[in-house]
Chains A and B, each alone.
Chain A
Amino acid sequence: MNSRVPKTLGSRLSLWLALQSFFGLLAVCIAIYAATFYAFRSHQLEELAHKKGLLEHFASEALSTGDEKMLGHKLRDFKVGHSEFGLRVLRAEGTVFFEDVVPSATSQRRLIEFELASPVAGHRPFQVTLSQDIRKDQSLLERIAAALVFAALGGTLLVSCGGYLLVWLGLRPLRELSTQVQGLAADSLHRRLDGSNQPGELAPLVAQFNDLLARLDASYEHLEGFNADVAHELMTPLATLTSGAELALSSAKSVEELRDTLGSSLEDLQRITGIVQDMLFLSQADRGAVARRVHTPSLAAVVKQVADYHEAALEDAGLSLVVVGDAVGEFDVSLLQRALSNLIGNASRYASSGSEVRVLINSSSPNEVSIQVENRGSTIEPAALPRLFDRFFRADMARSNANRNHGLGLAIVAAIARMHGGRPIASSSEGVTKVGLVLGSSKTSES
């Protein structure tokens, strides 16, 4: 896609095929031409050698008579049957004894030179130049060459067209896939690519793409829902703010009443501020903020400190709190305090009066620590457990104390767990509910 030439996979493959077939055919044609050329040449040389033998035979016959004229006759007879040959015989001193040559360019003749014994005794041998006219062979070769070039080009064209067609057919699944992808849009994320008649090479691609779509779809849904939740969550305090302000302005009010309205407005504003700050915290956690770890000698001590903070609230709810177990590691203490405060706050909200809230600390493995807050009360539906940590999710819409608690507390616990390279955990059965977090206890456990 990103390379300039050629732009598509199809044209790229077609071009490669065309080039390959052209050069392949060219090589074959050159070989055929060369073979033909050498066959002709050796044939011509054989011919000349044969005629040379003939002339030597004449010379030896003439030698027995010792008559030059006789040789002349023989040479003329030879020429009669062999018009394509040219013959020139010079005496040793350079005078012409016999000459019969068709004038033509030397390039169109193949010639050999040799000596021929003179029939007259005591004479030095003749110098013979025997040439053969090869124009016929050459024009034949030219025709063959033309035919070969034509065959190469034609063959290339044929193979290219065939190749283009095959490539086009071969890429059909890819075209189908891209048509399918074009059909997807943000509002149809629930659709998936159909990989049923795709070749094996594309199957992993289709599977990965569908996985990606599924994840996108889920986050998109989540986001949509989240936006609706946020709007809904902000709507209540905004509505009371607005109506309170309108009421305060509608008629003359005493200073005391106005102060009360302002105070109530402040409470609403603090609630909105709390929601916005929690959302900012979550978005930072989502964007990969990690815990700033310091050596923490005792997790139980951190829990006790948070428990002290909740002392009065726990007492109000008629609850006692015990810490079981301890662990050491590197944690972000202020983040842990926040998570624990949310967990203990939740537990005290849902625990049955007079029961005991237990905070369980376990080092399940060398680099993992779990902290769970356990309370006795009503059992949470198994279906609701995994969603407990979703933003604004409330397992008990009816019981939620919306004034004090917007549904981000456990989402923040989950975020703090992830910031420590861990995960949130929750279980509930027979009236005992445990909610908590698993922490990577050192920097090395973070991915």
Chain B
Amino acid sequence: MKLLVIEDEVKLAEYIRRGLQEEGYVVDLAHNGIDGLHLAMESDYDLIVLDGMLPGIDGLGLLAALRQSKRTPVVMLTARVKVEDRVRGLQSGADDYLVKPFAFSELAARIQALLRRTKGPSEPEPVRLLQVHDLELDLIGRKATRCGQKLQLTVQEFGLLSLLMRHEGQVLSRTEIAAQVWDMNFDSNTNVIDAAVRRLRSKVDEPFHRPLIHTVRGMGYVLEARDE
């Protein structure tokens, strides 16, 4: 997977590149709109990460020029938080939109989702059963078991657990968890998420020998079987 990052803040661009390389992407960088547009037109990228405010050509202008000949998926980054800007960005051909400052994990998740979407209709069969180590989740029957013991989960807890299991080994930020499980799209009350995870742990991890839900300080939560 080859990505292009067009971002004029050198430090931020470098972080994004390193992060994406760690995720296994090949990443090219451009620090201004003119170079960015040139690169985007010359070679075929699977996805472009585009800053909305650029020297040379601004993000929307670049997008308009690119869209005349290419359908490369674009994630816009912007410091603007106005809804109108967001709508304008999406109208002028951006496929997704992220407001600065953002958590890197969120950018990675959006990129992944966008690549999945654009890689055509090869959607995998809906999973019926999720399994991590000795924890099993039956999505159809809405049953959770660990070591063969049935776990008593509320609707919220079931939703949270299935999200963590779907993204096994992937750190999920609190913001992301709030959006995915409860459809709450604002950053606040992170302690609410902490309380929810704490309660889930008391049912999923505490009765058992090996914890599966881990806190990654400053980032969020991850569900994986770690070696003790």
Contacts and interface: CB of A to CB of B under 8 A. Distances in A.
A270 interface: yes
Interface in B170-191: 178, 182-191
Contacts of B217: 259-260, 262-264, 266-267
A270 B190 CA distance: 10
B118 interface: no
A341 B184 contact: yes
A338 B64 CA distance: 34
Nearest to A281: B81
B198 A263 contact: no
Contact of A312 (B155, B190, B198): B198
Contacts of B199: 312, 315-316
Nearest to A338: B186
A270 B218 contact: yes
A260 B189 CA distance: 22
Count chain A CB atoms within 10 A of each CB in B190, B217, B219 and give the residue with the most. Answer: B217
Interface string A306-335: 101111110110000000000000000010
Nearest to A276: B101
Nearest to A268: B218
Count chain A CB atoms within 10 A of each CB in B178, B182, B186 and give the residue with the most. Answer: B186
Interface of A: 259-260, 262-267, 269-270, 273-274, 277-278, 280-281, 284, 289, 292, 305-306, 308-313, 315-316, 334, 337-338, 341-342, 345, 404, 409
Given A266-B217, A284-B81, A305 B192 contact: no
A419 B18 CA distance: 41
Nearest to A340: B184
A265 B191 CA distance: 18
18 contacts: A262-B218, A263-B218, A264-B217, A265-B218, A267-B217, A274-B188, A281-B81, A289-B82, A308-B156, A309-B178, A309-B192, A310-B192, A313-B195, A315-B195, A334-B186, A337-B184, A341-B192, A409-B188
Nearest to B218: A266
Contact of B182 (A270, A284, A305, A316): A305
A280 B78 CA distance: 14
Nearest to B182: A309
Contact of B188 (A264, A292, A338): A338
Contact of B190 (A281, A292, A404): A404
Given A267-B217, A312-B156, A316-B195, A273 B101 contact: yes
Contacts of B189: 309-310, 313, 341-342, 345
B81 A280 contact: yes
Contacts of B10: none
B196 interface: yes
Given A267-B217, A316-B198, A345 B192 contact: yes
A264 B101 contact: no
B191 A313 contact: yes
Nearest to B185: A334
Given A263-B219, A311-B156, A305 B183 contact: yes
Count chain A CB atoms within 10 A of each CB in B184, B192, B198 and give the residue with the most. Answer: B192
Contact of B218 (A264, A292, A309, A338): A264
A289 B84 CA distance: 10
B46 to A, nearest CB: 29
Nearest to B99: A277
A265 B184 CA distance: 25
Nearest to A266: B218
A237 to B, nearest CB: 12
